[in-house]
Homo-oligomer: A and B are copies of this chain.
Amino acid sequence: MVEMPPPPSCSFASDNAAGAHPAVMEALVAANTGHALAYGSDPWTAQVEDRFRELFGPRSRTLLAWNGTGANVLALASMIRPADCVVASQWAHIVVDETGAPERILGAKLVGLPSTDGKLVPEQLHELEHQIGVMHHAQPGVLSITQSTELGTVYTADEVASLCDEAHRLGMTVHLDGARIANATAALGGTVEALRSFTVDAGVDVISFGGTKAGLAFGEAVVYLNEALADRAVYIRKQVTQLPSKMRFVAAQFDALLRDDLWIHLAERSNSLATRLHAATATIPGLHYDAAPEVNSVFPVLPPSWVAPLQSWCFFWPWDPARGQVRWMTAWDTTEDDIDRFAAGVEVVAHYN
């Protein structure tokens, strides 16, 4: 029987296993004061809309929403034309992890293109060109990319710009699923300029701006950089069940998260802790990494016998069981001590297995 060290204070399951940042929770509590009109006619919502305009420019338009799947569906429903399909990577959350919500609510085909790293390249769009204008095929209408990707990789601003250029050339618009846009921003420089470089400046049309994984209790935002696509958005939001009634409780949280770039700082931290975890475990015999982490997750390949004892000590999810790959994900509240304890636990299991 292996004697394990004391476990970390948190799991490595997902960044949505963390709670809300204290400043966020404090803002949520502070917003609980008297009456405020529902559905966004409140001062908290007005203020957070200003904050988003500061990030993305005065012509951007932001709608708050409940959750990631909902934000994606709202964004895509604003973008898609009849008989269009949505093109994404085969790993995209919208393709594999939303129980067919996009197909059901959009009534549209999703095309999952092959990718080894979760990223797409313009040539893959180019190959779809022969479908355009052929009445028997769903028409490529929206490109959806994820930043940072489901596989923990990050598009450079140039890569996003190239995809946007090709998409626009083909008459498509571009959606960026930014459930972890904070981690990508941190990875690309950690500034608002970095954020703009791979969004507004690159030509993205609509963003799902993640709040939950970045430190909120709940709440996401859809940011329309292409104004024309926002035209019907307030109606669509209600229609796809994503209109919070006491909206101040979403707005106040986001306001706290965006203040003084807290969202970026939290992501810088979770990113750096993934790097620390990678460094602390990469040399353990029997464990293998395909790549160093770019954001807040590592994907080690382990002997199968390690997995259960480690999971029961400090939980995480399997990734690709066929090759013994698991995912360890840090969150905004993970600490250096958590990393060190976790790495120590892996060493113990490695030693006794």
Contacts and interface: CB of A to CB of B under 8 A. Distances in A.
A24 B83 CA distance: 33
Contact of A100 (B31, B67, B83, B217): B83
A236 interface: yes
B241 A70 contact: yes
Contacts of A85: 100
Interface string A6-35: 000111011011111000010011011111
Contacts of A96: 137
Interface residues of A, number: 74
A69 to B, nearest CB: 5
A196 to B, nearest CB: 27
B238 A98 contact: yes
* Copies of the polypeptide in the assembly: 4
A82 B78 CA distance: 8
B107 A243 contact: no
A244 B25 contact: no
A217 B236 contact: no
Contacts of A66: 66-67, 70, 241-242, 244
17 contacts: A16-B38, A16-B245, A16-B246, A17-B35, A17-B37, A19-B246, A20-B32, A39-B135, A66-B66, A66-B244, A67-B243, A69-B238, A82-B235, A82-B239, A83-B100, A97-B137, A99-B135
A217 B28 contact: yes
A36 interface: yes
Nearest to A250: B218
Q: Which of A35, A67, A139, A331 has the most CB of B within 10 A?
A: A35
A73 interface: yes
A25 B36 contact: no
Interface in A223-247: 232, 234-246
Contacts of A99: 83, 135-139, 235, 238-239
Contact of A240 (B104, B212, B235, B244): B104
A315 interface: yes
A348 to B, nearest CB: 21
9 shortest A-B CB distances, which residue pairs?
A: A83-B235, A70-B241, A100-B138, A100-B109, A104-B107, A99-B238, A19-B32, A99-B239, A17-B35
